[in-house]
Structure formats: structure tokens, C-alpha cells
Amino acid sequence: MEFKTQKLLHGGDYNPEQWLDRPDILEKDLEMLEEAGCNTVSLGIFSWAVLEPEEGVFHFEWLEEIIDRLYEKGISTILATPSGARPKWLADKYPEVLRVDEARRRQLFGHRHNHCYTSPVYREKTGIINRKLAEHFGKHPGVILWHISNEYGGECHCPLCQEAFRSWLKERYGTIEKLNKCWNTTFWSHTYQSFDQIESPSSIGETQLHGLNLDWKRFVSFQTADFIRQEVRSVREGGSSLPVTANLMHYFQTLDYFKLAKELDIVSWDTYPTWHKEAVLETAYDNGMCHDLMRSLKGKPFFQMESCPTSTNWQSVSKLKRPGVLFAQSMQAIAHGGEGAMYFQVRQSRGASEKFHGAIIDHYGGNDTRVFREVAKTGRVLKQISELAGSTVSSQAAILYDWESQWAMNDSQGPRNKGLHYHEALLKFYRGFRKQGLNVDLVDMDCDIQKYRVLAIPMGYMFKEGFAEKVRKFVEEGGILIVTYWSGIADDTDLCYLGGTPHGLMDVLGIRSTEIDGLYDWEENSMIPEEKNSLGLEKTYVCKNLCDLVELRGAKPEMTYGSDFYQGYAAVTSHSFGKGQAWYVAADGEAAFYEDFLKRLMQECCVAAAVKGEIPTGLEITTREKDGVCYYIYQNFGTASVKIPVPEGEIQVIYGDIEKELPVYEMVVLKKQ
Ligand code: GLA
Ligand code: ZN
């Protein structure tokens, strides 16, 4: 099912169930939503106790009235299934729905997002209410999309989940002998005789079998996806054919979002960057990369389901968003291919844990607040640029981001237990591409990589079956490949490859990685360009954390180490293979290295951005396309106004002023046929 909208969504999570005794407030909400240019709200996310106050007794009238009133005002509803938080009666009557933690303790009622995904009772009860909601609201013209649950996450170790895990393992391995082999269980005499003996990882039990840890994480993703599937199935049984989404979270480590996204028609995510913790530009790159990841999950438009209109209540410091940052954040979601920018929340609660979380309408309740004014401006601009809805982003560059590989890499002991700095490594590549105005996708090992010109594999620890062959083909056919240290080390079950690494790509890269040196925090080495290096690099760069030593097997050394016993060994190499090129970056170089290196390499290989000319620091340029039209979105995340490089040919200005310099946090949107 496609999610198609003519408008860019603007609005937020709305919790009228907290205000049912205040019709005056509900009336005010409607007025203010309209005034803030909101066209969509998410309803019913945590309403189960009001929707079904007793088992089998349903009260939907209040919700219906609100959906009707919103619709009359032109405001659409994204309707949630309420499984994110269960009512007390359900937990009391059916304790099996309560999650068991890894130390095997059954939780008491409380909090949210803490149910067992396996429990037949929880599946049945969510199924019933989802069906009823779908029967009642599934054809309402005001309802445009299902919001399935809320922020799926976590794991349950109850007996039901253990049983399901064992069946999943049986299905995966067939025999216990095969499992023992794949998990290398003879290590420390951990051999299993039957599947029934297997227990999920626990701090009071097994944590040292990496294959077990990895499979448990896979199972948790599988079981969560299965739960989503059953939620969606019940909505369909209720007669609704509306598309579905689930709100994902940042670079969430515990669920493989590429797998989860298969269950959704459109990806949405909750974005809470810590603006003003470091330079705004750095936060913008990190947030931009996450938008690109979310878009890449399905290779389709996504949207920002939640963001905070000002400060959150849960970050270590509740920093106010400086004037202009809310606008800039919302527009960044659109620039990167989003179909909307929504908030948590419409109205601030009076009590309980989120009473100090930012909202469009705060406790004061008026429209004469700094935050409300900025939300309203955002609403006006989203309307002005609404023709961007439905346009897509295409990228020439891709960076590998694979959940399973990360899980395995983070679980391993060595080569640097103090921190591998994987996220920073990704960001260094990302910044290097983005600073040249290139759109970037993030892909996992199952994605199609052939369509890209450049593929970067930073710390691709695990090479799943078939991946090396795919990458080889990519280079053979003319792709530009960049692989770094700590790549191609282990297989799908986290067994180390024998016979040399990066596994399957040694001939493509023309090197073999022989040893890897971990550096203490205070240590550094340097990367010195060879006199006749292919890219004309001139500077020496610092490298830290990890230095890989390679044996040259046909590759050309482009840079070498500056010190230690491996002084003079290759630190960066290049190799021609088929019609393409394969580069190896052996050490964790400083950010400036990646920027200069990628800039020269892209020039050398004629990978050009949509806009020619120097891109000033702080300027983000992204392009979206629709029906033969290209949209150029410029945003200034720097500290001073900048001049923007406009594309050649006839252009139309959709938003902003190209005669003047672009002020900080402002935006320009251009259109070119
Ligand atoms: C998450 C949840 C919301 C709310 C916000 C607060 O994203 O989905 O219900 O708790 O956090 O930032
Ligand atoms: Zn369970």
C-alpha cells in the first residue's frame, strides 16, 4: 500500500484523552492547531485505558467526535493502535503479558513499551481492539494512516519467548550439531545436546557465546516484526486498507530496522537531536544522516513523526531550541526526502513524567509564545513548499550500515574495548560526501548496491554470505569502492574467516590485512601522502584508535604511516579492478582527511553534485525529484550568512531569497525543469 499525500504533514501527537473533562481546552486546541498551520495529528497512541476501560467494554464516542471535529477543520488523523501501553486490568488478569527481563524477573504493571511480544493473550487482546478501531474508523475520511503501536523496542525473556526462540533456532539450523558448529560451542565446553537446553543470553547465565548473542538479537527483531504483522493483520481484518507506519527511533541499536521496515508502508521516525550540545552543524550532519538512513530503509519517502518544539524533559539538559532551530530541523526532514515534520506533542500534559516536555501549546496556553510563533511559521512554509510532497531523493553515494554487522562487532572483545568509534567513522564519510553537495543513502548488505557510483564500507566487520561477491561485481562494473580497517572479518554467525581478510575482497583491493594495532586514547599516528599519490593529496593527517597493517598484493600505496614500527607501511591504498577502483583506508583518520580524500576522489572519478561550485561551510544542499522536475533545498546550519551556489539554467524560486545571502537557519527552495 502506498502512502500518498498532497500535503506535507504538519502537526503532532495529540492526547485529548487527558482533557476530556475540559471541553473548553479541547475547543481551544482546535483553534490553535488551525492557527499553527497544523494539518495532521496522531491520536490514540496511549488511549487503551479510555478506549476499553473494562475488558470487552469499548468507548469510542469521544475519539469519534474529535476525529470529526478535526476533519471539519481540514486536519487529518493518523490513528494509533494502542499496544504501546496496556491498561491495568489487562496486566492484572493476564500476568503473562508482562515482560520478563534478562535476569528473569517478571515486571510489575507500570511504564509502557514493556509487553511480551510472544504472549498469545497480548496478541489476542491487541488484535481485538485493533479490529474494533479499524471497523469503526478505518473508512473515516479524516483518517489517513495507521500508527502501529509506539516506538517498538526491548526484549522479553519469559518462558513463552524462550520457547519461541528455540523454535526459531531449530528452523534456522535444523540440527543441534550445526548450531554447535556455528556458535563454536566447544569453546569453554558449552556444547548443547538439544535445542531445549538453550536459554537466551543473561547476566546470570550465558553472555560469552557471540553466535548466541547475535541470534538472540536477530530473534528479537524477528519476533517484533511478527508482532507488527499481527497488529497490521487485525487492522485489515477490521476492514481497513489504509497504509501503516510505525515510529522508529534514531540509530536504534536493538532492532534491525531494515527488517522492520518491510512490515510498513511508510517509515516514520522520532527525531530528538541534542541541538546546542556541540556546533549546530555537527548535529545537523548527524540528524541528516539519520534522515537518510530512514529514507533508505525502504528507498522511499518517509516522515518525521515526532520532534520537540523546544526542549525535551528527558535529555541530560533541557536545552531550549534557539530561535530558528525548530524551523531548520523541520525543514531538514523535508530536504532529506520527508513527507512531513510533526512534533511531540500538541499540548503539554499537566502531570506525570512528561509534564515538562516541550509542546506546541504549553501550560500557559496562549498563542503569544516564541515556540508557537515558530511552529506557525513552519506551518506556513510547509504549505508554501507543499509541491515537494511525493518527490524522491536519488543518491550516487552509499554508505554501508548493517545492523547485524554492528551487533557482532560491538559484542566482540578486541581490537579496542575502549571504543571502536564506529558512529564517528560513518559520520566522517557522510560529512565528506555531503560537504560536496552529494545526496547519500545508507544501505545494508541485502540492499541493491549496483545502482550507486560510490560505495563506502566503514568497518564492515561482518561479510554475510554473498556480500563480497556483490561488492566484487560492483567494482568490476565500474563502481568506486572504499573499504576501511576492520572489514570482512567474520561470517553471518560471527565465526572468523580463515585464509585472510577482508574476506573475499583481497584481490579486489589488492591487499591483505595482516595485523591491527589498537591505540590508547592519548596515542596517535599520522598518514603521510606519497609523493606521487593518485589524488594529489599534500597534507599529513592524524590517525587514532585503530591502525591496520597491510601487505600489498598489487595495490598502490597512496599514503603511509608516519611513526611506530610500521612507519612507512601503507595507510591508504588504491587498486584498479575490472572497470572500477577499490580503495583501502587502513587507519581511523581525522575528519579533515575524509573531506579532502573524498573531494579529490569524487573529482577524479567525475562524481559531480547537482550544483557546481564551492559549497560554503554550514550549507546543506539536498535535491529531490518529481515528474522531471528537480528541487534544490539549501539550508544554512553554520554561524554566518552564506552565498548559495545556484544551479545553471532557468530556475524558479519556491521559497527564500536568492538575491541575498542565506541567513543562519534559513532555507531556499529552487525548482528546475
Ligand atoms: C518518544 C515517544 C513519545 C514521547 C517522546 C518524548 O518519542 O514516542 O510518546 O514520550 O518520546 O520525547
Ligand atoms: Zn515473553
Residue-by-residue DSSP string for 359-414? -SB-TT--S-SHHHHHHHHHHHHHHHTGGGTT-B---SEEEE--HHHHHHHHHS--
Res 79 pLDDT > 90: yes
Query: What is the rounded distance in angstroms from the CA atom of residue 246 to the CA atom of residue 305?
Result: 9
619-672: which CATH architecture? Answer: Sandwich (2.60)
Q: How many angstroms does the Cα of residue 462 sit away from the middle of ligand 2?
A: 29
**9-159+219-384 maps to CATH 3.20.20.80:** yes
CB of 292 sitting under 6 A from ligand 1? no
- Closest C-alpha among 124, 175, 150, 634 to residue 385: 634
Which residues belong to the active site?
151, 306
Query: What is the rounded distance in angstroms from the CA atom of residue 402 to the CA atom of residue 407?
Result: 9
Q: Give start and end residues of each alpha helix (H) in 422-547.
A: 422-434, 467-476, 506-509
Amino acid residing at 290? C
Query: What is the rounded distance in angstroms from the CA atom of residue 533 to the CA atom of residue 601?
Result: 11
CB of 231 sitting under 6 A from ligand 1? no
* Bridge partners (DSSP) listed for residue 150: none
From first CA to last CA, the distance across the chain in angstroms is 29
Res 105 pLDDT > 90: yes
Q: How many angstroms does the Cα of residue 637 sit away from the middle of ligand 1?
A: 25
Question: Using CB atoms within 10 A of its CB, is residue 353 exposed (0-12), middle (13-18) or buried (19+)?
Answer: exposed
Q: How many angstroms does the Cα of residue 259 sit away from the middle of ligand 2?
A: 20
Mutation test of ligand 1: which of 151, 269, 318 has the most ligand atoms closer than 8 Å to its C-beta?
151
Q: How many angstroms does the Cα of residue 233 sit away from the middle of ligand 2?
A: 21
pTM of the model: 0.98
Q: What angle do CA 297, 303, 308 make, to 5 degrees?
A: 120
Cis peptide before 396 (omega within 30 of 0): no
Res 472 pLDDT > 90: yes
CB of 147 sitting under 6 A from ligand 1? no
pLDDT value of residue 407? 98
The number of C-alpha atoms within 13 Å of 28 and in the hemisphere containing its C-beta is 16
Mutation test of ligand 1: which of 270, 353, 355 has the most ligand atoms closer than 8 Å to its C-beta?
270
pLDDT-derived band at 5 (thresholds 50, 70, 90) equals confident
pLDDT-derived band at 613 (thresholds 50, 70, 90) equals confident
User: How far is CA 7 from each of CA 228, 246, 655, rounded to the nearest angstrom?
Assistant: 27, 20, 16
* Nearest ligand atom owner, CA of 356: 1
* Nearest ligand atom owner, CA of 224: 2
Ligand 1 atom at shortest distance from the alpha carbon of 306: 7
pLDDT value of residue 4? 87
CB of 595 sitting under 6 A from ligand 1? no
Q: How many angstroms does the Cα of residue 249 sit away from the middle of ligand 1?
A: 10
For 147-180, what is each residue's pLDDT tens digit? 999 999 999 999 999 999 999 999 999 999 999 9
What ranges do the domains of the chain cover?
9-159+219-384, 397-604, 619-672
CB of 494 sitting under 6 A from ligand 1? no
Which CATH code is given to the segment(s) 397-604?
3.40.50.880
Q: How many angstroms does the Cα of residue 264 sit away from the middle of ligand 1?
A: 20
pLDDT value of residue 600? 97
pLDDT value of residue 1? 83
pLDDT-derived band at 16 (thresholds 50, 70, 90) equals very high
pLDDT averaged over every residue in the chain: 97
The pLDDT > 90 percentage for the chain reads 98
* Nearest ligand atom owner, CA of 272: 1
- Ligand 1, atom 4, lies closest to the CA of 344
- Ligand 1, atom 5, lies closest to the CA of 344
Res 52 pLDDT > 90: yes
* Nearest ligand atom owner, CA of 99: 2
Q: What share of the chain is helix, strand, coil (3-state, %, to 5)?
A: 35, 20, 45
- Ligand 1, atom 12, lies closest to the CA of 312
Ligand 1 atom at shortest distance from the alpha carbon of 45: 9
Q: Give the least confident one: 500-504, 520-524, 645-649.
A: 645-649
Ligand 1 atom at shortest distance from the alpha carbon of 151: 8
How large is the average pLDDT for residues 193-215? 97
Query: What is the rounded distance in angstroms from the CA atom of residue 97 to the CA atom of residue 443?
Result: 35
Q: How many angstroms does the Cα of residue 128 sit away from the middle of ligand 1?
A: 25
CB of 374 sitting under 6 A from ligand 1? no
CB of 150 sitting under 6 A from ligand 1? yes
* Nearest ligand atom owner, CA of 98: 2
Res 248 pLDDT > 90: yes
CB of 344 sitting under 6 A from ligand 1? yes
pLDDT-derived band at 6 (thresholds 50, 70, 90) equals confident
Mutation test of ligand 1: which of 42, 81, 269, 306 has the most ligand atoms closer than 8 Å to its C-beta?
306
Q: How many angstroms does the Cα of residue 426 sit away from the middle of ligand 1?
A: 26
Helix (H, G, I), strand (E, B) or coil at 663: coil
CB of 312 sitting under 6 A from ligand 1? yes
CB of 357 sitting under 6 A from ligand 1? yes
- Ligand 1, atom 10, lies closest to the CA of 354
- Closest C-alpha among 223, 256, 218 to residue 492: 218
pLDDT-derived band at 432 (thresholds 50, 70, 90) equals very high
- CA 493, 499, 501, 503 dihedral sign is negative
